[in-house]
Structure 1
């Protein structure tokens, strides 16, 4: 197995689509309404809202990250995700915030190299853990849909995307944590039904094998666009349970857990569109305070993680 970095740090990157730091107003912000005991314990009671500002505790650090990057308009998914994985100011390079899926200029940037390909080139191991059903591949192969940034980065770095076979065997992960969506909406009645905490513990097991683990969660953005308060609260509480299971089963002396987003949305259900709010940079475990001190906007995330993995001097 390839060796790890000089300090043995491994990274588990939890990407949440469409989560900003909003107002302390439970009438519009599900992050202010939801019961999130894992996050509260990590941050000594500080919630994931704008007024919390920068927080550092013994176990975690929270810092607001600018997602606008000096480019007019509302941040979008394709360019924001490409920034997170490359460290390049992609909206500035292509002349706009663009999304949800990448157009040719963004695809070219992602295919030129991301954290995933850099981990590979350093002789380390990465995995993008989301599993996809057969109809997803059918639509992509017919040219009816282009890969979004996260799977595109994985494929460009040489990984074959995980399938229903991987999910049924416990090697692949559902974006809803529990596999319930695969049962209810995709017809996989034999998909193993997990609690969020068990799913988190399963992900931690991969964090002991791979140097860089990437997980994408997009329901936050869906609930934001739909202005679905009840669903958003339930989803955020499931994520908190997932994070709790992940932390419980991880060696945080050697593992850095990263939670961040590409743009705001779900934190303000008074509107359907993306917001201009900063997004959370939540860093848990190994070297969290140093990483938080290095990150101020989305372009800072990839360089900080490269240093943590000893991919750069």
Structure 2
């Protein structure tokens, strides 16, 4: 690793801090128990299978509570007809307000002025920051991303937009090298092979799980976005999805090896279905995947039915009162 990354990973962990770590898997639902179309229907994921007592991440498993995890099929349709979309789904997850109902439609992939206004007021990043907590969006972006934004050729998606609204600068290659950020593929391989950064730090999936825990040291809430799952779903690339989920399984194993589960709530969730049905390359109406691991998971699992339920849970876990303005008719 570059020296900066080693120093960051050696920082002492605040053993008294309560944390939420949210692992956002874009476009992952709970689909049919059919390995011919659903990459999650196979047996290639030992960490996930162990957490779920040998059950699979498929619709037939349903709501499940084990000694180590809570599996929750999560409503992504939000009471609005049509296929769920990324911008409204992510905005709902980030605000606790039913964005699709607020707009009267599913919308995406990136937020328009209506959704940006919602994030400007209700983003979980902003609310935590205003309450004196420390939210952190830990994804690093290459220079070409910033160049495209500056030239007006690309709009921020809901998650980086919400972080920026709260005052965080998006993280760069320098942050990646210093151990303050992770690449969306978490290993860093894509930065070397596809983005033209031959000296980018490389992690095994398990090492990346360790690195995520180390970089979380100063923060109360860490959000990590893994967007490749949605791209693999749109490409109907079942084999590519299987390979990704195998890496993610090992990444999760690495995180669980080092995380303080007594004081940390890990949320694995998504905004809509897609990759769980590789027969067509479109979003699905399936419930979104949600897993809760760690502290108080059973208590908080009981409060989750749809995407609007996550922001209130995060605020409660971190001891931040939920503003009355979010308890509106637009909340699912």
One fold, TM greater than 0.5? yes
**2:229 & 2:205 partners in 1: Cα distance?**
15
Query: What is the match of residue 36 of structure 1?
Result: 45
| 1:55 and 2:75 are equivalent in the alignment | no
Distance in 1, matches of 2:180 and 2:167, equals 18
Residue 247 of structure 1 corresponds to which residue in structure 2?
256
* Structure 1 residue ranges, 4+ long, deviating more than 3 angstroms after superposition: none
Structure 1 residue 8, shift from structure 2 partner: 4.7
Unaligned runs of 5+ in 2: 1-13, 323-332
Distance 2:261 2:149 in 1: 38
SS at match of 1:27: coil
CA contact (8 A) 2:93 2:310 kept: yes
Query: Residue 138 of structure 1 is aligned with which of 133, 147, 151?
Result: 147
Q: How does 1:104-253 map to 2 (within 5 A)?
A: 104-253=113-262
**Distance in structure 1 (CA, Å) of the matches to 2:43 and 2:125:** 33
Gaps of 5+ in 1: none
What's the CA shift for 1:34? 5.2
Give yes or no for the alignment of 1:268 onto 2:277: yes
CA RMSD of aligned residues (A): 1.3
Tell me the residue number matched to 1:84.
93
Aligned-pair CA distance for 1:108: 1.1
3-state SS, counterpart of residue 72 of structure 2: strand
Shift of 1:198: 0.5
Equivalents in 1 of 2:18, 2:299: separation in Å?
A: 13
Aligned equivalents of 1:154, 1:120: Cα separation in 2: 10
Is the Cα–Cα contact under 8 Å of residues 82 and 106 in structure 1 kept in the other structure?
Answer: yes
2:29 corresponds to which of 7, 13, 20: 20
- CA positional deviation for 1:56: 1.1
Distance 2:131 2:256 in 1: 27
